[in-house]
Structure 1
Amino acid sequence: MDTSKLTCPRCNSLKIVKNGKIHNGKQNFKCKQCNRQFVANSKKKYIANETKAQIDKLLLERVSLAGIARVVGVSPRWLQQYVNHKYAQVPQQVQVQAKKKGNLTIQMDELWSFVGKKRVKVWVWLAIDVNTKEIVGVYIGSRDEVGAQGLWQSLPPVYRQCAVCYTDFWRAYAQVVPSMRHQPVDKGSGLTNKIERFNCTLRQRASRLVRKSLSFSKKLANHVGAIWLFVHHYNSSLLV
């Protein structure tokens, strides 16, 4: 394209030069007067709400962001920005049905994951209501007393007050859960099978939690957001 026919969209200068190409291969131009960069005859693409709704559904399945971008026909850069914003808005507090005191039983377990590199371990602590199958506690962090305390504090008050808690023999649980209501059991007892089954579901549905995956999280905030997004979706599906 002849630069003599172009004017800067900011200052209307005619001193325009070519300045490489943008991510989609279109010619990029630069104004020598104010340094504004632009593409000639740019047509901004708006993503339809129907496409965004489809993306929201795919984020809950075992599909990488690159795969979603290919399926729905959006740029990886736009999709990453959309996902960053969406995960930042996800509430990080369990949303469950109100419960009466008494006759509450929960199972707790921790799930290994990593962010960026496998040596950067991030543990997902979870608690499930045995009767309703709701996820009633979530904490994402280290596998120590701090992590167990985070899970305990994430429980609604009624569970902290009177629920019987089944866990494995990981020592951090005993440091946090009241001894009168703590029931450590062996994996073979079947008394933690519901939370272990949910762990399996989470690994199968969230590609970033698959042990051998190219879809792992590069950013902790997105890792946390993706897990909370699935937990809210899972709990809401129990009400249907």
Structure 2
Amino acid sequence: MNKLPLTTRVQILSMLVEGASMRSVARVADVSFNTIAKLMIEAGEACAAYHDETVRNVQAKRVQCDEIWAFVAAKQKNVPNMKTPVDGAGDVWTWTALDADSKMIISYLVGGRDSEYALAFMDDVAARLANRVQMTTDGHRAYLEAVEGAFGADVDYAQLIKIYGASPDSAKGRYSPADCTGIKKNRIEGDPDIAHVSTSYVERMNLNIRMGNRRFTRLTNAFSKKIDNHLHMLSLYFCHYNFCRVHKTLRMSPAMAAGVSETLRDVEWIVSLIDAREAAPKRPATYRKTAPAL
């Protein structure tokens, strides 16, 4: 089977995690669009598997959680009018849990914004932590039941609720939020330190995601056309962010700061994850012959 040279694969993945579109990467690397898509899928699967296996028993003190919006194929209001329906079309949310000290993404989940996804997300967060933490979320109601279901009383949990004024006028821009006139910090469970009840770091991470993923760019045609590709790109991005990118303040990768990794990785290492999965021995398919019906 033909395989791209290592330098070309590194170039492609490097451009993808820096926010380049797939078609622009195809033009620069002089390969087909389908080749880019195939490599992205392979990288996403390898990165998701590595994250799931490695990011465990995290020693964190403060965890911040939030959700960021995007859409697949069409915005939710336009889904009923789609000429060719697509599975997973419509609004899609990316749930993230960030360690406020190491800035590492502990867990992420792509899907809806309802209580079912909130519970699945919090169950995953709880499974990856090694100790009791202080957790902060926004005022989304789904978090209340989800945090209690995943952690019980073994968490210091608070919600930061922002209070907004009147809606902005049209001159401020289409996506300008209303002016924040104040905040409320509500203790929900345990004994959270009110001074550290904040979602600032995870909201800054939302900006990183939007700047580093072409699929999140507004008012363009760069949105994801398939939900699976959306997830694969995010898996690639989060793995690169955690293990390969040096945080300017920490001067090391978030995974190193969290004690999950001992060395700084690079994109060539991500390619090695792909190759390792391809080289893994596969068990032969087994067949069972059933007795003919009498």
In structure 2, the partner of 1:207 is 214
Deviations 1:89-135 (A, max 9, x none): 332545447444xx721111011111111110111000111111111
Q: Which moved more, 1:177-186 or 1:63-72?
A: 177-186
Q: Secondary structure at the match of 2:201?
A: helix
CA-CA distance at 1:45 after TM superposition:
7.8
- Comparing 187-196 and 130-139, the one that deviates more: 187-196
Structure with the larger RCO, 1 or 2 (CA within 8 Å, 6+ apart): 2
What SS is found at the alignment partner of 2:220? coil
2:75 is paired with a residue whose SS is strand
Residue 80 of structure 1, CA deviation: 2.4
Whole-Å separation in 2 of the counterparts to 1:45 and 1:104: 47
The aligned residue for residue 131 of structure 1 is 101
- The counterpart of 1:118, out of the listed 44, 55, 75, is 75
Which one of 52, 61, 84 corresponds to residue 104 of structure 1?
61
Provide the residue aligned with 2:160 in structure 1: 185
Rounded Cα–Cα distance in structure 2 between residues aligned with 1:214 and 1:150: 31
- The answer as to 2:45 corresponding to 1:75 is no
Matched residue type, 1:224: L
Distance between the aligned counterparts of 1:207 and 1:158, measured in 2? 29
**Letter aligned with residue 62 of structure 2:** T
* TM-score, reference length from structure 2: 0.60
Give the corresponding residue for 1:56. Answer: 13
**2 CA distance for matches of 1:106 and 1:143?**
19
Gaps (5+ residues) in structure 2? 77-89, 163-181, 184-196, 246-252, 257-263, 265-294
**Residue 198 (structure 2) pairs with residue 228 (structure 1):** no
What is the distance in 2 between the residues matched to 1:88 and 1:134? 20
Give the 3 Å change call, closer, same or farther, for CA 46–148 of structure 1 in structure 2: closer
The 8 Å contact of residues 113 and 123 in structure 1, kept in 2 or not, is answered as: yes
Q: Distance in 2 between matches of 1:96 and 1:87?
A: 16
Name the stretch that deviates more: 113-122 or 173-182: 173-182
Match for 1:182: what amino acid? Answer: Y
SS at match of 2:48: coil
**Uncovered stretches (5+) of structure 1, i.e. residues with no partner:** 1-43
CA RMSD between the two structures: 2.4
Q: Tell me, in whole angstroms, the C-alpha distance in 2 between the residues paired with 1:61 and 1:128.
A: 20
Matched residues in 1 for 2:133 and 2:127: separation?
Answer: 10
Q: Which moved more, 1:174-183 or 1:51-60?
A: 174-183
Q: Tell me the secondary structure at the aligned position of residue 118 of structure 2.
A: helix
Q: Per-residue displacement from partner, 1:30-68 (whole Å, max 9, x unpaired)?
A: xxxxxxxxxxxxxx9863221111111111011111100
Bigger radius of gyration among the two: 1
Q: Deviations over 1:139-167 (max 9, x none)?
A: 11110111211211221536386212101
Q: Which of the numbers 140, 160, 163 marks the counterpart of 1:170? A: 140
- Residue in 2 aligned with 1:39? none
Contact 1:207 1:213 in 2 (8 A): no
TM-score (norm 1): 0.73
Q: Secondary structure at the match of 1:214?
A: coil
Aligned to 1:141: 111
For the 8 Å contact 1:96–1:235, the answer to whether it is kept is: no
**Alpha-carbon distance in 1 for matches of 2:47, 2:128:** 23
- Whole-angstrom distance in 2 between the partners of 1:225 and 1:84: 6
Q: Is the 8 A contact 2:109 2:121 kept in 1?
A: yes
Q: What is the percentage of aligned positions where both structures have the same residue?
A: 28
